[in-house]
Amino acid sequence: MISRRLLRIKALHILFAFFRGENDSLAKAEKELFHSIKKGYDLYNYLFLLLLEIQSFAQKRIEMSRQKLMPTHEDLNPNLRFVENPYFTLISDNESVHDYLSYNKLSWVNYPELIKKLFQKISASDYYQKYMELPSADFADHRQVLVNILTKELIDFDDFVQCLEEQSIYWNDDLDFMIGMVVKTLKKFEPDQESSTPVFPMFKNEDDEDFAKRLLRKAVLNHDENTQVIDQYTKNWDVERIASMDILIMEMALTEITDFPSVPVKVSFNEYIEISKYYSTDQSSTFINGVLDKIIAAYRSEGKIQKQGRGLVGEEDM
């Protein structure tokens, strides 16, 4: 399922566009948010298909070698460990993955050269060679070679990143998260699991879907109030030099802290500090930390922060 951090990031992007006038209504912004979330889930399933495409390419190479006019002993007796990796069968037989890919018409058919280059990188790697040379491979060995492909080959492979950019404007920000989701899914697979065993859903539960929707709406509705508060606590700063992304991140943090009683203040605080490290300036996390800390202290003294529910014991000690 898509993590709440990614939901926050997606809401941040939509809000940034909204306040720059790129969306002229909250309804359109909300529609764009959920389209962005769905595209992230598309990528999750698309990565499963990528693994199957790599297997298919490897299998075709073996068949072509067998059909040479003068095949070598190795051509006729290839090492089939990779193409017979049981995880490929678990993925291809999985009903939820198959149905999602079919319904959404996701395919790598237009990118044969990318698959070829990717397999060449994989087959030249140390981890692949070690895997193929093992005296015997257990289920963990079969899983690890796929995990290595996902975590070692994709992020820094320019051709792959460019391919994703061409297909969706959302996928660059999603790639790290979705690779992590696929890896977690593979680690949950069992050798004898049923084909009906579902992979992760788009949302963990209805609460997460509601969280994304409410975060976007509340941030828009609280915009004027939150910006006034932020202005009050940044009087000694040149407002024009404060990055607009910093202000928006603080707005979202204050919205979540005041309007989401079941989310601990510490969780919201830490999440937006981490997000600022990737989506704003080098100094942003320290600046946002200091400003939010002062506002939260003031809100607590004024009784503006009310938390309830399990896991919120000790909130007052933050």
- What's the CATH number where 246 sits? 1.10.940.10
| Contact present, 250 and 227 (Cβ < 8 Å) | no
Q: Would you say residue 289 has pLDDT above 90?
A: yes
Same domain, 133 and 272: no
Radius of gyration of the chain (CA): 24
For residue 243, what pLDDT is reported?
85
Same domain, 174 and 227: no
Q: Would you say residue 313 has pLDDT above 50?
A: no
Q: What is the mean pLDDT of the chain?
A: 93
Same domain, 9 and 154: yes
pLDDT (mean) for 224-237: 91
Percent of the chain with pLDDT over 90: 86
For residue 238, what pLDDT is reported?
64
**More confident site: 173 or 135:** 135
Q: Which of 138, 173, 188 is the last residue of a domain?
A: 188
Question: What is the rounded distance in angstroms from the CA atom of residue 133 to the CA atom of residue 276?
Answer: 45
Same domain, 160 and 48: yes
Same domain, 234 and 182: no
pLDDT (mean) for 71-81: 92
Burial class (CB in 10 A: 0-12, 13-18, 19+), 191: exposed
Tell me how crowded residue 168 is: count the other CB atoms within 10 A of its CB: 15
For residue 21, what pLDDT is reported?
83
For residue 240, what pLDDT is reported?
62
Same domain, 60 and 128: yes
3-class DSSP assignment, residue 266: helix
Angle between helices 26-66 and 112-123 (to 10 degrees): 60
> In this structure, is residue 258 part of a structural domain?
yes
Q: Would you say residue 314 has pLDDT above 80?
A: no
Same domain, 49 and 128: yes
> In this structure, is residue 195 part of a structural domain?
no
Q: Tokens for 219, please give them.
A: 């941030």
Q: Would you say residue 114 has pLDDT above 70?
A: yes
How much of the chain is helix, strand and coil, in % rounded to 5? 70, 0, 30
Q: Tokens for 209, please give them.
A: 């879907």
Same domain, 150 and 274: no
Same domain, 153 and 284: no
**More confident site: 238 or 231:** 231
> In this structure, is residue 193 part of a structural domain?
no
Domain total for the chain?
Answer: 2
pLDDT digit string, tens, across residues 190-225: 999 999 999 999 999 999 999 999 999 999 999 999
For residue 219, what pLDDT is reported?
97
Same domain, 174 and 232: no
> In this structure, is residue 207 part of a structural domain?
no
Q: Would you say residue 274 has pLDDT above 50?
A: yes
Domain enclosing residue 250, as ranges: 222-311
pLDDT (mean) for 132-156: 97
> In this structure, is residue 140 part of a structural domain?
yes
Same domain, 181 and 229: no
Question: What is the rounded distance in angstroms from the CA atom of residue 150 to the CA atom of residue 154?
Answer: 6
> In this structure, is residue 206 part of a structural domain?
no
> In this structure, is residue 284 part of a structural domain?
yes
| Contact present, 48 and 96 (Cβ < 8 Å) | no
Q: Which of 188, 212, 237 is the last residue of a domain?
A: 188
Q: Would you say residue 239 has pLDDT above 70?
A: no
Residue 40, CA distances (Å) to 43, 48, 197, 199 in order: 5, 13, 21, 15
Q: Tell me if the pTM is above 0.85.
A: yes
Q: Would you say residue 316 has pLDDT above 70?
A: no
Q: Which of 143, 173, 188 is the last residue of a domain?
A: 188
Same domain, 73 and 175: yes
> In this structure, is residue 280 part of a structural domain?
yes
63 φ, ψ to 5°? -65, -40
